[in-house]
Each structure stands twice: as structure tokens, then as C-alpha cells.
Structure 1
Amino acid sequence: MIRLALAAVMTLCAATAQAEIEVQEVTSPGGTDAWLVETHEIPFVAVEIFFRGGASLDREGKRGAANLMTALIEEGSGDLDAQAFQIELETMAAEFSYDVYDDALTVSARFLTDNRDAAVALLNQSLTDPRFDEPAIERVRGQVLSNIRSDAQDPNDIASETFYREAFGAHPYGSDLNGTIESVSALTRDDLLQSFDDTIVRDRASVAVVGDITPEELGAMLDTLFDGLPDSGPPLPEDVAVGISGGQTVIEFPSPQSVALFGHAGMDREDPDYFAAYILNEILGGSGRQSILMEEVREKRGLTYGVGSYLVAKDHADLYLGSVASANDRIGEAIEVIRDEWARMAEDGVTAEQLAEAKTYITGAYPLRFDGNARIANILVGMQFTGLPADYIATRNDRMNAVTLEDINRVAGALLKPEALHFVVVGQPEGVVGTN
């Protein structure tokens, strides 16, 4: 019944999200910074935390440690084992979730105002005193190993792992954050505790809070939430150049169709031309509207059900990627069309009409993202994590609209490198031969 009440409140949050969002920058008495959107219409608070580093902090020979460790945080802390921890969450109508990515370990919390103190105390306990009981380790380890075995039979995962290995080699980006059968099987409880201490540190935390809480209350809450966390952790990895070159890698896989991941180096999120690159990608291969690649590959030629491209701005490297799937006897043609359109866009750019249509879609769709406290908190913490200012929500569409036709076509010529496009093809492609 309590959990149903929380679900009802979260639904109301989504229904009553405000179009105008005022972001307050708060610093706690203990020196922790956070962004706050204060709204008292409903007695609910959403908290998002990103700890920079994530799986890229796995120590040598310990690949998969951060992933396994993160999955175990909710398996109990302090004097609460896994079952007692979940019962405690249910009792106070709170929800916690923990995830890890290449560059961040993320924490999400949702709770009612009346239970705020108890929820924050439990969240702090999970971030400072994990149990990592051996039975839980072995159970979750088994789940991770099952996922690794499953991914090894998934063409999309094979393509992704191969592309990143060829692009980044021995850098953490060059291997799957899940680890390997061998590395995960060898991880010990001490390895997981080390990963926990390396990853969850105060000075790498970005925090966003949305809901029924004042700046003064938030300041006190932050000091409780981060009490006991280490101040800092080990150095982050070095930046890495994208080492993959133009051509094709073909991996034989028994399937009636082939999947391909393709791409080359991208653009840093802090580059002043990033807004132009964002719009350019929306026109070329973005998934939010009818793109050139969808028109040429699917609509005109019927080579695929879907094709798209996207910018990937990581902390230590940047990619411009795309994906497509097609029948084995047609994937070669799909690849040829994609290369041709990549080259045509680099040479000719976009039209004024294409630019106007893309701006209309991008700016019109943006306000729809802010459909609830939890979504707003997630957007805010992402803004902090990527170095955007607190007023970005208010200025973002103006920045998009400021991109000129000259800007976008200049960026097209610099960013799009058809000769550098590399395709990793998994399947039994006819007429497609590896070049390396």
C-alpha cells in the first residue's frame, strides 16, 4: 500500500511538471554543492548523484569490478542484509537505484517528504557501509557471468565490443565494463571493497535535487548524505585518441541478417561548434525525425527497418557512431549508401529548409523532456556532469536557433570524414570483405 502511494505521487509529479524551471545553486555548510529545483506542490523529493569515474576506474586485471560492486550496493548495508534492506525501503516508501557506466557511477533516490530523514540516512548507509556478503556476491556474480555469456551471442554486443576494442585498445574504453568470464570469476570481496572506495568519493559527485525541500533543508540533507564518504579517489584515466581507421571488420556469425556499427572520431561536448554538430546529426541520422539516412537507406531502397547515428562525447574520447541492420545479401549496399551520404553531406552540407525543420523539431521537443521531478533531476545532474551552466535550460533553444547555415555546413566539412568511417559487420554478409 505504501509503495502504491509513492507510485501515485510520482505519477502526479509527471502530470504537474512546470514549464518554467528555476535552478538554485546550493552549497551545504560542509561544502557540498548541488542544484535544486524547489517545488512544494506534492510531498516528494527526487535525488540524482553522478560520481565521476565509474567503470573506467577498474584497476588493472580487475575489469568488471565496478559493475559487480555497483550491483551489490543494494544487497544490504550496515546491519541490514539484502532482504532487510529491501523491506526497509518498502516500509518508508522509498526507491533507490545504482548504475555504472564508462565514466560515472550513478545513484537515484525517490522518497516522500515525511520519510526524508530516514531515507537519507539509509542512502548514506548504503554509500558508506556496504555489506558485500559472500552469498550475495556469488549470486550476483552468477547473474553477471550469465549476462557476459549472453552478450557473447548477441550480434549487436559483438559489434560494439569489437569496435571499441579496435578504437581504444588497452584503455578502459576498449573493453566491456561487465568484464570477462575470467576477470569476473577471479574478483574477491577485497577487490569489490577497493572498487567501492575508489569510485564513491565526495569530490567527484554531481548532485541534483527536485521537489519538496528548501535550500536550507537541502544543505543539511547533503551533509548527512555525504557524511563518511572519502574526500577523493585515485586519478582518472588519461585521454585517449580514437585509434580505429577507415575500412571494415567482418565477424562471421550465423544469422539471416548482418548488423553493423560504424563511426569515427567525434566532437568534444565543450567545443563551441557542438550545437551545430548536434543539429547536423539530427538531419543526417538522428532518430527523432525522418533523417537523410532513413530516407536513403530505408524509404528509397528498403534495405533496413532502421538506421541512425549519434554523437558520443565521453570524458576521455569522442566518437561519432551509427548502426544499421540488413539482410546478408543487402548489407553491402546499405554500407555503400551510408558512405555515399556521409561524403555528400561533408561536401554539400545541408539546405536552409533542412536546417529550419531540424531546429523546429529540436526546440519543440525539448520542453517535453521535463515531465516529472525525477526526469528533471536527471537532466540537471547530467548538465553539471558535462559542464553546462545552471541557466542552460533557459538558454538552450536560443543557442540552437543561433546556429547558422554557414556554421552547420562548415562543421559538416570538418566533422564528417567518410574516408575514416569504419564498419564492424557481424553476420554472414555477402560481398563485404574485411580490410584489416
Structure 2
Amino acid sequence: MTNMLRARLAAPSILLAASMAFVLAFAAASQAAVKIQEVKSDKGVTAWLVEDYSVPIVAVQFAFEGGSTQDPVGKEGLANLMTGLFDEGAGDLDSDAFQIKLDDAGAEMSFKESNDAVSGSMRMLADKKDEAFDLLKLAVQQPRFDQAPMDRIRNQIVSGIVASARDPQTLAGRQWAKALYGDHPYARDDQGTQPTLASITRDDLKAFHKANFARDNLRVAVVGAIDADTLKKKLDEVFGDLPEKADLVPVADVDPKLDQVSQYEYDLPQTSLHLYYPGLKRGDSEYLAAALMNQILGGGTFTSRLFQEVREKRGLAYGVNSGLSNQSHSTSLTIGTATRSDRAAEALQVMRDVIRDMAEKGPTQEELDAAKKYVIGAYAINNLDSSQAIAGTLLVMQRDNLGIDYMEKRTALLEAITLDQVKAAAKRLLTTEPAVMILGPAGTLGESKG
């Protein structure tokens, strides 16, 4: 085994061992309050910090608002391609040299895009944080976008697009997005197409990076063995020399087009059913009531009304779920399942009956009490079980404008929700005729295409 290969294997192993130690340490004190500090650098970069010295790890997560909605028309897939190139060379380091330095620093780096943001994360050993932050600075400020890595990553994406062209779920998802969002950027495939990817040049990547990576659309969260004064300096080193303001293309809010049936016909043994109802913005005063209603309706894996009626009582599906979807420019409540094609009509009717009953009558007090208990109790397990998870939660809190004290207030806010509020949320969201999306054999439900 070469020394280089040993280094590539050793760094992740060290981080894994440290991460396991963090989980064990956190489990022992999971009920302790998470103390969040707001740290502002001299150049105005703000981060939320949770200091934790139980293990020698620092986790960083950050997001630049914008995402694939900023892809120019005809250049779809630009943001996604860019996120594959940040660790493929930066500054004076080409791809191989950058990867070797990253391994030597004992760090892990990743980037990804969504419709609404380009986000990144880095996990590093505390005693090598200087080297790790230096590499993050290069990646954020001076990505190279060299032609060879660019062609390689693009070919990987194209291979995935070609493979997915035979996948019914992928094809149906594209059709459904257009049916819901029309010509809005949310209807576009964020991976792009073969022609749009082929048209992307290095200059396109540089222009996108310059327009989107700025200080005013940046959110940062840090968790681990680092103090506030040290973090202030690192924030300026990594982000302080970025442009003050992003040059983002305005994106309009859009409501998904409801009251329609859209069917993708494919000869499958199972039919997938999806229902789209209105949602709520995260800052809406009824959002928490709607979240509790959703938990009772279909959010609780084994306890929800939909699960009990669709699976437990009738055996129509392996699972059924619902969830509130919150994007920067659109919201929805989505409900989905997959069932035998010859029983799809029955499953859809049962789902509609359960939803109608919730809209008309709402939940019982017993159901609401149980939902509160679960949602309050599961928060630490689902959101605070590792340094990366805590950093991710802090980032979401910032992006949703929940306030730095949200964790402290969350339990009281949920406890204060009344049965009447939850009933009102159910009526508000579920009385609208939904968009119904169907993937399965032709004529499964006797419905025509929407």
C-alpha cells in the first residue's frame, strides 16, 4: 500500500472515530441545552457557533442563497456541475494536489446545490483546522474549474442522465414538475440535459460563482472545538474577501397548480400515487399547528391515520406518508404511496376519505397530545445527534429566520398549540382539491391525463 493511499484511508478513519466519540458523548448529555453564540467577523460575516470540546472535531456548514434557479436558460445544470468542482483544484493547486492536501489535513469537504441554494460543508480535526480552513478558503474564493476535471464531472452527470432516461420515476417526476410549476424555474431539472451541459463553459462557471458567492446571501454554522475569537478570524479568511452583495436573478413566488390529474403511463406492477395540497411558509403563524396536523395525518411512520387505514387495516401499501414541503418560493403538503396497480383506485379513495375526515373534523385531543410528545421528544434524536447534524440544524434555523433562541422556545411553542388551531390548519390546507399524480399502467384509475 502506497503512502498516499494510506493517507487517503487514514484521514476519514480518524474523523470517523472522533465522530463516534461525539455521538457517545452527546448521548450522555442529550438533554442539555445547546448554547448558540452569534459570531460576527470584522468584515461582517456572521455565523452561529456551538462550542463543544468533547471531541477534537470542527464541523462547518454554509449556504449561499440562489441555487439552480439561477441557472441561465439554456445552461440548466450549471449550479450542479459547479458543486462537483470545488475540491477539484483551487488557487495554485490542481485536482490531485488539492486532494492530497485535503487528506493531509484530515478533512472532508463537500458541496451540493438545491433549487434555492448552493451549500457546502467541511469536517476537520481541530488540531489541523488552520490547514483545513486554508483549503476551504481556496475552494470558496479561487476555484480553478480546470477543463479536465470539468469534462470528467460533466461526463459523470451525463451518464446519470442517460441512465435515468429509462427510469419511470424520473421521467414522471419531470412531467409532474412541469404540470405543477409550468415555466417557473422549479419545473426545470436541476441536473440539466445533455445539450445544456454541453453548452456550459469555464467562463459560465466563473460568472455564476462571481454572481452567487457573496457575503449578503451567506449563512454559516459551526459546531465543535473552536472558540468565538478564533472563528471570527477564520470567517474573514474564508469568506471575507467575497463580494459584499450577490447579483441574483429575481425569482417569483409560485403556487403549484392544483385541481388536476396528471398520469404517466408505464407498465408497472405497482402504481405510485401522489397528492399535492397547499402548504404554508415557515414563518406563517399557523405553521406549527399544520406540522402537528401533518404528523397525525401521515407524518408519523407507524401511528398516522393514513398508515393505519391504508396499510394496517387494508394492506394496500407497504407505507404511506405526508410532509410539508417548504422551498424559498413555493410550499405544498404532499402525500404519497405505492400500491398494487389493481388496487390503486381503492387506495386513492381510502386516502381521500382519510384526508376529507381530517379536513372536516380535525384530530382528537388524544392524537394531538401524542403528536406533541413525539415531535418534541424526537427533535434531539433527529437534529442534534452529531456535530454535523447540529450545524445543519443551525443552518436551517438561519435560512428559515427562526431566531437564535428557537431551540429554547420550540417546546413551549408546540405545547401552546390548541386543538382548535390544528383543526383550523387542517381545514385551511385540506379542503382544496389537490393535484393528483399517477405513475402506473394506462387506465389504472379510469382517469384521463391532466
**Residue matched to 1:79:** 92
CA distance in 2, matches of 1:306, 1:146: 31
- 1:336 maps onto 2:345 in alignment: no
Flag the 1:34–1:211 CA change in 2: closer, same or farther, 3 A: same
Q: TM-score, normalised on structure 1?
A: 0.96
Which amino acid in 1 is paired with 2:421?
A: D
- 1:21 maps onto 2:52 in alignment: no
Query: How many residue pairs get matched?
Result: 435
- Judge conservation of contact 2:275–2:437 (CA < 8 Å) in 1: yes
- Judge conservation of contact 1:168–1:240 (CA < 8 Å) in 2: no
- 1:401 maps onto 2:415 in alignment: yes
CA distance in 2, matches of 1:287, 1:353: 14
Task: Report which stretch shifted further, 331-340 or 31-40.
Answer: 331-340
Which amino acid in 1 is paired with 2:201?
A: T
**Residue matched to 1:392:** 406
- Judge conservation of contact 1:163–1:261 (CA < 8 Å) in 2: no
Instruction: Measure how far apart 1:113 and its partner are.
Output: 1.6
CA distance in 2, matches of 1:28, 1:208: 13
**Residue matched to 2:259:** 246
CA distance in 2, matches of 1:195, 1:332: 47
Which amino acid in 2 is paired with 1:10?
A: S
Picking from 34, 52, 71, the partner of 1:58 is: 71
**Residue matched to 1:47:** 60
Per the alignment, in what secondary structure is the counterpart of residue 410 of structure 2?
helix
Per the alignment, in what secondary structure is the counterpart of residue 35 of structure 1?
strand
Picking from 3, 10, 26, the partner of 2:12 is: 3
- Judge conservation of contact 2:65–2:218 (CA < 8 Å) in 1: yes
Per the alignment, in what secondary structure is the counterpart of residue 258 of structure 1?
strand
CA distance in 2, matches of 1:424, 1:123: 42
**Residue matched to 1:188:** 201
- 1:300 maps onto 2:310 in alignment: no
**Residue matched to 2:6:** none
**Residue matched to 1:177:** 190
Instruction: Measure how far apart 1:183 and its partner are.
Output: 1.2
Instruction: Measure how far apart 1:301 and its partner are.
Output: 1.4
Structure 2 alignment gaps of length 5 or more: 1-9
Which amino acid in 2 is paired with 1:282?
A: Q
Flag the 1:380–1:248 CA change in 2: closer, same or farther, 3 A: same
Instruction: Measure how far apart 1:431 and its partner are.
Output: 3.1
RMSD in angstroms over aligned alpha carbons?
A: 1.5
Instruction: Measure how far apart 1:240 and its partner are.
Output: 2.6
Flag the 1:254–1:188 CA change in 2: closer, same or farther, 3 A: farther
Per the alignment, in what secondary structure is the counterpart of residue 170 of structure 2?
helix
CA distance in 2, matches of 1:214, 1:396: 26
Instruction: Measure how far apart 1:389 and its partner are.
Output: 0.8
Per the alignment, in what secondary structure is the counterpart of residue 173 of structure 1?
helix
CA distance in 1, matches of 2:310, 2:343: 11
CA distance in 1, matches of 2:20, 2:413: 32
**Residue matched to 1:225:** 238
Residue by residue, what CA displacement relative to the aligned partner does 1:369-417 show, whole Å, maximum 9, x if unpaired?
3112111111101100111111111111211111100110011111113
Structure 1 alignment gaps of length 5 or more: none
CA distance in 2, matches of 1:2, 1:67: 27
CA distance in 2, matches of 1:287, 1:182: 42
- Judge conservation of contact 2:301–2:321 (CA < 8 Å) in 1: no
CA distance in 2, matches of 1:237, 1:329: 46
Residue by residue, what CA displacement relative to the aligned partner does 1:178-222 show, whole Å, maximum 9, x if unpaired?
112221122122222222222222211111111111111111110
- Judge conservation of contact 2:62–2:121 (CA < 8 Å) in 1: yes
Task: Report which stretch shifted further, 341-350 or 227-236.
Answer: 227-236
Per the alignment, in what secondary structure is the counterpart of residue 16 of structure 1?
helix
CA distance in 1, matches of 2:342, 2:301: 28
Per the alignment, in what secondary structure is the counterpart of residue 248 of structure 1?
strand
Q: Could you tell me the percent identity over the aligned residues?
A: 37
Per the alignment, in what secondary structure is the counterpart of residue 216 of structure 1?
helix
CA distance in 2, matches of 1:129, 1:161: 34
CA distance in 2, matches of 1:357, 1:371: 23
Moved segments of 4+, more than 4 Å:
none
CA distance in 1, matches of 2:350, 2:301: 21
Per the alignment, in what secondary structure is the counterpart of residue 242 of structure 2?
coil
Per the alignment, in what secondary structure is the counterpart of residue 216 of structure 2?
helix
**Residue matched to 1:105:** 118
CA distance in 2, matches of 1:172, 1:336: 33
Residue by residue, what CA displacement relative to the aligned partner does 1:74-94 show, whole Å, maximum 9, x if unpaired?
211122222221111111101
**Residue matched to 1:157:** 170
CA distance in 2, matches of 1:361, 1:406: 20
**Residue matched to 1:234:** 247
